[in-house]
Every structure is written in structure tokens, then in C-alpha cells.
Amino acid sequence: MLKITMINGSPKAKDSSSEAALQALETVFSDGPLNDSQITEFDFRKPQLSVQQMEQLAEHDVWVLAFPLYVDGIPSHVLSCMAQLENYFKEKPQPQVTVYCLVNCGFYEGEQCGLALEMVENWCAKSGWQWGQGVGIGAGGMLPAVKNVPVGRGPKKNLGKALETLAGNMGSRTGGENIFITANFPRFAYRFAAEMGWRQQVKANGLKVRDLFLRR
């Protein structure tokens, strides 16, 4: 039986896109041939991991690391957890772990996540983990809004296909080319919704819409 841990690297306590992506992957698992896998949930919300947490992680065969793209890279709190794991297991028997990764981004194009996936792959090579495969998810901001839409349907059609491929590779702990996807939703409409969201957020934070365009 495969022991999998789903690691949420978003700093948001709830309603993150990373959480929605991991939930979608769990659904694909529970509907597929690997439904006897033992899945646990974990988070890298804080930049610090305890020894106990690192030992717990080492008890799993597969780590699925999901995080938001920050400035084309890995958020610093996630990077800090990764560095701690690398250092801690340097002096110890290396756990035989295969790492898969879901990076989601605000841009419409999932290809934006390519560099971050390469960073995780390089970390695997340096730390001794086996790299599996990554998925770069564009229009990530939409995921929480469509969390009740079945995976593989409507705006989540591409996501379903990518996660099925990933889940298949996870089952055999094999690798594959990184997959880049976006929502099955028009780009202009996604952009329009995102811009409306920023206007609402700027007002909710006591600022004016024109403050969005300030250049200092």
C-alpha cells in the first residue's frame, strides 16, 4: 500500500488554490485503481519544521508538494522547509521518497510555473529524493471558486486529464515530463474576473483603485 502525503505550501489557512488542487488529486485517487493508498495531509505554512514532523514525512513513499508561484519561484517559507529537510537527512539514512509537485500561478499560462518545477527537481537531485513529475497550473486563482465542479469537467477538464496522468505515475512511482495546463475558460474572462477581484480587495483594505497603479 502506497503511503502518500499531500503537502500544502500555501500560507493561506483555508480556501487556497493549492488546497483545491490537492483535493482534486485526492478525488482522482479515490476514484481510481489506487484507492487503497493511505493519504495524509500536511502543510508547509510556516517556515519551520520540527524534527518530529520531518520524521513523520520520512515515513511516506510519496510527497506531493503543492504551492503557489511567487515571483516565478518557490515561496520563501516553502523553500525554508525544503532546506531543513535537505539538511536534516544529510546525516541520516536517506528516506526513499518520490516527489511530485503541483505549482499553481495567477497568470493564465501554466508554463509560468516551469522554473519553479525545475527548482524542485534540482532540490531532489541535491537532496537524494527521487523526482517524479510536476504540473504547472495556470489561472490558479480560479480553483477555489470552482472547487465544487467535478474534476475533469467544465473549467477543470484539463486539470482532470493532467492529474490522471500524474496519479498513474505516482502509483508506479515513475517519472514523466512536466505538464502545463490552464483552465478551460476564456483568457479575457479570467483576466476580467481577476481585475475585478483586485479592485474589491484594494477597497476592502482601505485604499483606492488608483493605488493599484502607483509607481514609486
Ligand X SMILES: Cc1cc2nc3c(=O)[nH]c(=O)nc-3n(C[C@H](O)[C@H](O)[C@H](O)COP(=O)(O)O)c2cc1C
Nearer to ligand X, 75 or 160 (CB): 75
How far is residue 197's CA from residue 57's CA, in Å, rounded to a whole number?
A: 36
- Residue (23 or 104) nearer to ligand X, CB: 104
Nearer to ligand X, 147 or 173 (CB): 147
Least Å distance, CB 89 to ligand X, is 26
- Residue whose CB is less far from ligand X, 59 or 195: 195
Kind and range of the H or E element at 98?
strand 98-104
Per-residue buried b or exposed e for 81-114, using 16+ beta carbons within 10 Å of the residue's own CB: bbebbeebbeeeeebebbbbbbbbbbbbebebbb
Q: How far is the CB of 150 from ligand X (least distance, A)?
A: 20
Amino acid (one-letter) located at 80: S
Check: CB of residue 57 under 8 Å from CB of residue 127. Answer: no
- According to DSSP, residue 100 is labeled E
> Could you tell me the three cell numbers for 19?
488546497
- Residue 17 CB, shortest distance to ligand X, in Å, is 4
Query: Hey, is 33 helix, strand or coil?
Result: coil
Q: Find the residue with minimal CB distance to ligand X.
A: 68
Which residues of the chain form contacts with ligand X (CB under 6 A)? 10, 12, 16-18, 68-72, 104-107, 112, 140-141
Place of cell 467535478: 150
Give the nearer residue to ligand X in terms of CB position, either 140 or 160.
140
Q: CB of 138: closest distance to ligand X in angstroms?
A: 8
Torsional sign, CA 134, 24, 77, 11: positive
Q: Cβ of residue 111: shortest distance to ligand X, in angstroms?
A: 10
CB of 52 to ligand X, least distance (A): 25
Choice between 12 and 126, CB closer to ligand X: 12
CA atoms within 13 A on the CB side of 31: 12
